[in-house]
């Protein structure tokens, strides 16, 4: 006959083994950046290579705790370029970043364009690729709309998907949330309950755009403000 002590020991061993089978390993995701610009533009770099020759350079600075772009900058002088829209850019991060959520508050100063970029990389000296959401409210440029664009290794620009049911209100802050996860691209307005754009690169020809830095862009938009940038690993 088994003793009570042996029975209790066997029960405890069984309970420990059962608990160990139910343990799941949780991998903590990294926050690459949580930025309120209290330390200025540390780590950010200006990129003006896409501006037209007669455009002023970008003027990015911090004022009253907000990131401001102060000049009327533009790029894309051809008819194709104007439909694509270029401006002064500010870049941050590492080209090894793959799957992440990039969120930023935007306060527009006029109806012109703003861009939020992900997966920026430079595979060659004069080559650059990226994914971006471009937001335009000005009817003279076809607004209002939110549009998902890309540029690949062949220097080809493409507008992937466009939503003309959403724009912005001048002077009112809104939050852009862009998620890149594998081949899936998702863009939200305000919160993750409000999906406005999505595209899957998996079944398309853009399989090389899977890692890179983030960026902000202003097209003919002096006085635009940005704040509360957050980049989270997915």
pLDDT tens digits, 48-91: 998 999 999 999 999 999 999 999 999 975 545 556 789 999 99
Q: What is the pLDDT at residue 27?
A: 76
Chain centroid, CA 228 distance in Å: 13
> What's the pLDDT score for residue 11?
65
Q: Give residues with Cβ within 8 angstroms of 24, minimum separation 6.
A: none
Q: Is 118 exposed, middle or buried (0-12, 13-18, 19+ CB in 10 A)?
A: buried
Can you tell me the mean pLDDT for 117-123?
89
Q: How confident is the model at residue 202 (pLDDT cuts 50, 70, 90)?
A: confident
Superfamily per CATH, domain 29-233 = Exo-inulinase; domain 1 (2.60.120.560)
Q: Is the pLDDT of residue 139 over 70?
A: yes
Mean pLDDT in residue range 192-201: 95
CA neighbor of 149 nearest in space, from 178, 109, 111: 178
The pLDDT of residue 83 is 63
What integer pLDDT is reported at residue 209 of this predicted model?
82
Q: What is the pLDDT of residue 136?
A: 96
Residues 5-58: pLDDT tens digits? Answer: 655 555 665 665 655 555 555 678 899 999 999 889 999 999 999 899 999 999
CA atoms within 13 A on the CB side of 234: 16
* Average per-residue pLDDT for the chain: 87
Q: Are 217 and 153 in contact (CB under 8 A)?
A: no
With pLDDT > 90 as the criterion, what percentage of the chain qualifies?
69
What pLDDT shows up at residue 76?
A: 74
Report how far residue 51's alpha carbon sits from residue 69's, in angstroms, rounded to the nearest whole number: 14
More confident residue, 70 or 207: 70
Query: What would the two tokens of residue 139 be?
Result: 């009817």
121-133: pLDDT as tens digits: 986 655 678 999 9
CB neighbour burial string for 65-93, b if at least 16 within 10 angstroms, e if fewer: ebbbbbbbbbbbeeeeeeebbbbbbbbbb
**Can you give the chain as a three-state secondary structure string?**
CCCHHHHHHHHHHHHHHHHHHCCCCCCCCCEEEEECCCCCCCCCEEECCCCCCCCCCCCEEEECCEEEECCCCCECCCHHHHHHCECEEEEECCCCCCCEEEEEEEECCCCCEEEEEEEEEEEECCEEEEEEEEEECCHHHCCCEEEEEEECCCCCEEEEEEECCCCCCCCCCEEEEEEEECCEEEEEECCCCCEEEEEECCCCCCCCCCCCEEEEEEECCCCEEEEEEEEEEC
- Map out the domains of the chain as residue ranges: 29-233
pLDDT number for residue 125 = 57
Q: Which of 29, 27, 185, 176 is nearest to 113 (CA)?
A: 176
């Amino acid at each position: 006959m088994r003793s009570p002590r042996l029975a209790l020991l066997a029960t405890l061993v069984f309970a420990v083994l059962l608990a160990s089978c139910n343990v799941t390993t949780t991998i903590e995701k990294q926050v690459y950046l949580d930025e309120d610009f209290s330390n200025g533009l540390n780590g950010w770099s200006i990129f003006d290579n896409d501006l037209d020759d007669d455009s002023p350079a970008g003027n990015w600075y911090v004022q009253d705790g907000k990131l401001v772009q102060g000049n009327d900058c533009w790029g894309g002088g051809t008819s194709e370029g104007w439909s694509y829209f270029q401006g002064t850019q500010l870049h941050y991060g590492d080209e090894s970043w793959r799957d992440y959520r990039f969120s930023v508050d935007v306060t527009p100063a006029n109806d012109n364009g703003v861009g939020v970029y992900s997966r920026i990389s430079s595979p060659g000296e004069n080559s650059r690729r990226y994914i971006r959401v471009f937001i335009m409210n000005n009817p003279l440029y076809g607004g209002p709309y939110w549009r998902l664009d890309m540029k690949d290794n062949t220097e080809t620009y493409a507008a992937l998907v466009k939503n003309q049911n959403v724009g912005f209100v001048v002077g009112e802050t809104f939050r852009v949330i862009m998620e890149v996860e594998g081949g899936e691209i998702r863009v939200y307005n305000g919160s993750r309950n409000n999906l406005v754009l999505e595209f899957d690169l998996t079944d398309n020809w853009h399989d090389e755009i899977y890692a890179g830095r983030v960026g902000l862009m202003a097209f003919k938009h002096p006085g635009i403000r940005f704040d509360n940038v957050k980049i989270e690993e997915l």
